A and B are shown apart, each in its own frame.
Chain A
Amino acid sequence: MTTTVTAETEKAHEPKPRKPHPIRDMVIKRSLIGILTLVLVSILIFAATQTLPGNAASAVLQNTATPARLAALEKQLGLNRPAVEQYWTWLTGVLHGNFGTSLANGQPVGTLVGGRIVNSLVLVVLAGLIGTLIGVGLGVLAAAWRDSLFDRVLSVTSLAVTALPEFVVAVVLVIFFAAVVVHWFPAVSVFVPGTAPWSNPKELVLPVATLVLVIVPYIFRMMRASMIDALESDYVQMARLKGVPKWRVLLFHALPNAIAPTIQVIGLSFLYLAGGVVVVEYMFNYPGLGQALVSAVSDRDIPQIQAIVLVLAAFYIFVNIATDVISLAVSPRRRLPRS
C-alpha cells in the first residue's frame, strides 16, 4: 500500500508545486486512518473467529469432538492462551506473511490464498475496466441524445436492473450462452491448477460479463445525470455559442467536469466487485478468493477465513482511499485549499 501512496503523491506533486498541498495531505491523512481501520478490522475478524463463546475448536470438530481431540486442536490454534496474546501472535505472523495452517488440508494458508488473489484480481480488474468503459460511454451518449428513444430505453432498463443479484444475471447468461440457446462458452470454468486465468480467455467471458452487467447500470446512471448537469451549465452554453463543434463540446468541455461524481460510483463498483466475486466464482467454479471463502466457510477452516476476509477488507480500504484521491485530483475546484 505504501509504495502506491508515495507514487501517487509524487505524480500529483510534480505539475503543481503549491505550498498547501491538499492531495498530499489527504493521501497521508486517509492512509493513516486506513491503517487504523485495518487494525480495527483485524481485531474484529480475530475476535469473531477465534475468541467467540462456543470456541472455534468445538465449531471445527462439531460432532466428532472428544475431549482429547478438542484439547489437541485448542493447542494447535493456541486457544488455551490469553486472547490478547493469541491476537498478537496471529498479527505478527500475518505481518511476516505467515497466515497459519489450513485446518482443511494442512497446507500453509499463505500459499493457498496467494495464487487465488491474482485470479480474483484478474476478474475484478477486467470487469471493472470494461464496466467503466461501457457505463461511461453509454452515459455520455444518452446525455447527448437526451429524451431520444435510445436514452429512454437505456434509462428505464438501467433503473430496473440495478441491484439485480449476480446469480440471477449469471443464470440468465448461462441459459443464453452456455446451456440452452447457444453453447459458445463453458457453464463452469475448468482451470488446470497452476495455469494463469488469462491463458484460457473463453472461461473468463461469462464470469466477467456477469460482473460487468451488474455494475454498468450504476455507472451509466451517474454518468448520464452528471453529463446532463454539465451540458446545461453556462460554460457549455458559451462554448456552443462560440461555435465549438458538438463532439468537441461533449468530450473536452462537458466530460472532464462530469467525470468527478462518476468516479465515486466507479469506486463503489470496484468495492461491490470485491463481494460480487464470491457468488460469481462459486457459480462458475472459478478458482479465486471468493470460491475459497465459500469452501472455507463450509469447512469452518478458520485460518483461511481470517486470511481471505482480511485481504478483502484491505482491498476495500485501499479502493476507498484511491477513489477519494482520484476524484480530488480530477476536480480542480475541490483541489484548492478550503478558505
Chain B
Amino acid sequence: MARRSEALAVIGRAVRTPQGATGLAIAGCVVLVAAIGPAVAPYSSTQFVTAPFARASSVAWLGGDILGRDVLSRTLDGGWELLAMAAVATALGVAVGAVLGVMAAYYGGWWDNVIMRAVDVILAFPQLVFALLLVAILGPKIWLIVLAVAISHAPQVARVARSSALDISERDYVKAMQILGIPGRRIVRRDVLPNLTSVLMVEIGLRLTYSMLVIAGLSFLGFGLQPPAASWGLMINENRVGLIANPWGVLMPAILIALFTIGVNTFTDAVARASLGVGGRATEPEPVALVAREVT
C-alpha cells in the first residue's frame, strides 16, 4: 500500500523538524515516567512514610502528601492509568467519529441528516459536563469515563472527517472514477479513506490533549480513580491545602500533565505542517485553522 506509507512519511517528516522532535521527546518522557514509574517507585503509593506535608528529606525525596505518603512514589504511580484512559478514549472516539463522518458524506441525504443531528445534540454539551452527566448516574467507573470521553470526541471528529471526505469526493479523479462506474464502496476504501489519514492524525493529536484535559479534570474533581489510589489529577486536589508546607505534592503532577499537553500539542502542530507542505515550512494559516477549528 503506497498510500499507507505516505501517512508514515508525514510522521517521519514531522519528527525530523526541530519542533516535531522536541514535542515528541517531551511527550515521550512523560509517557516513560508514567510507564516505568510504578516499577521504580521507592515505596508503595498507599504506604505511610512520613508526616503529612513533610518537607523533602532523604526518606521522601519530594516530601509527604496530605496523609504522609511519599509524593515521589505517588507521582510515579499516578500517571499510567490516566494516560491509558486518554489513549483508549482517543482511539475509540476518533475511530467512531471517522466512520460516522465518512458514512454521512458517502451516503448523504437521510443518513447525513440523522448523523449530523445526533452530532449537534452531543455538541450541545461541554465535554466535561457530558462526562459528569453520565458519571452522576452510573458512578465514577473507569470504563464509563473512557466511554463518555470517546462519545464526546466522536461528533467533532465526525464533522472534520465528513467535510474532508466531501472535499475529496469533489475532486476530479473521484468524479472520473464515478463516471467509469467503479463502485462507490471501493472508491471510499481506496481513495477517500487513505486521503483522510493526515487529517485524522492531526485529529488524534488534538483529541489526545482534550482527553487528558477531561480525564485529569474529572480526576481532579474526585470522579476518576478513587482514593487511596494515586492519580495526578486527584493528587493536585488532595494536596493543594498543603501547598505552602510542601508544594511538590501539587507541582509534580501539575508539571507532568502540563508537559504531556505541551509535547503532544507541539508534535501535532508539526504533523499538521508536514501534511500540508513538503519541507515543513508550510504557510502559517492552514495549521492554525486546523488546530483552532474544533477547539472545544
A and B assemble together:
yes
Chain A interface residues toward B at CB < 8 A: 33, 36-38, 40-41, 44-45, 48-49, 52, 54, 56, 59, 159-168, 171-172, 174-175, 179-180, 187, 218, 221-222, 224-226, 228-229, 261, 264-265, 268-269, 271-272, 274-276, 278-279, 282-283, 293-294, 296-298, 300, 302, 305, 309, 312-313, 316-317
- In the complex, which residues 216-235 of chain B have their Cβ closer than 8 Å to any Cβ of chain A? 216-217, 220-223, 233
User: Which residues of the partner chain B approach A297 to less than 8 Å between Cβ atoms?
Assistant: 132, 135-136, 223
Tell me the minimal C-beta distance from A1 to chain B in angstroms: 14
Query: Which A-B residue pairs are the 10 nearest by beta carbons?
Result: A275-B126, A225-B288, A268-B295, A225-B285, A297-B136, A163-B209, A272-B296, A160-B262, A313-B124, A275-B128
User: Which residues of the partner chain B approach A271 to less than 8 Å between Cβ atoms?
Assistant: 126, 295-296
Tell me the minimal C-beta distance from A61 to chain B in angstroms: 13
User: Which residues of the partner chain B approach A164 to less than 8 Å between Cβ atoms?
Assistant: 258, 261-262
Docked CA distance A90–B210 (Å): 33
User: Which residues of the partner chain A approach B222 to less than 8 Å between Cβ atoms?
Assistant: 298
B124 touches A316 (CB 8 A): yes
User: Which residues of the partner chain B approach A293 to less than 8 Å between Cβ atoms?
Assistant: 129, 132
Residue of A33, A161, A171, A269 with most partner-chain B CB within 10 A? A171
- The verdict on A305 contacting B285 (CB below 8 Å), with A159-B265, A168-B257, A278-B126 known, is no
Tell me the minimal C-beta distance from A320 to chain B in angstroms: 8
Tell me the minimal C-beta distance from A295 to chain B in angstroms: 10
Residue of B117, B220, B236, B257 with most partner-chain A CB within 10 A? B220
A37 touches B120 (CB 8 A): yes
- The verdict on A279 contacting B285 (CB below 8 Å), with A164-B261, A179-B243 known, is no
Residue of B nearest to A289 (CB): B129
Tell me the minimal C-beta distance from A166 to chain B in angstroms: 7
User: Which residues of the partner chain B approach A52 to less than 8 Å between Cβ atoms?
Assistant: 137-138
* B269 lies within 8 A of chain A by Cβ: yes
User: How many cross-chain pairs have Cβ atoms below 8 Å apart between A and B?
Assistant: 168
Tell me the minimal C-beta distance from B190 to chain A in angstroms: 33
A161 touches B243 (CB 8 A): no
User: Which residues of the partner chain A approach B129 to less than 8 Å between Cβ atoms?
Assistant: 274-275, 278, 293, 309, 312
User: Which residues of the partner chain A approach B237 to less than 8 Å between Cβ atoms?
Assistant: 167
* B176 lies within 8 A of chain A by Cβ: no
* B180 lies within 8 A of chain A by Cβ: no
User: Which residues of the partner chain B approach A316 to less than 8 Å between Cβ atoms?
Assistant: 123-126
A49 touches B220 (CB 8 A): no
B285 touches A228 (CB 8 A): yes
Docked CA distance A276–B220 (Å): 13
A sample of 28 cross-chain residue pairs with beta-carbon separation below 8 angstroms, ordered by A number, consists of A37-B121, A37-B124, A40-B121, A41-B121, A48-B133, A49-B137, A52-B137, A56-B137, A162-B291, A163-B213, A163-B265, A164-B258, A165-B216, A165-B258, A168-B236, A168-B254, A218-B295, A222-B289, A224-B284, A225-B284, A264-B292, A275-B128, A279-B217, A297-B132, A298-B222, A300-B136, A309-B129, A317-B124
B291 touches A33 (CB 8 A): no
- The verdict on A275 contacting B127 (CB below 8 Å), with A165-B216, A168-B257, A180-B247 known, is yes
* B266 lies within 8 A of chain A by Cβ: yes
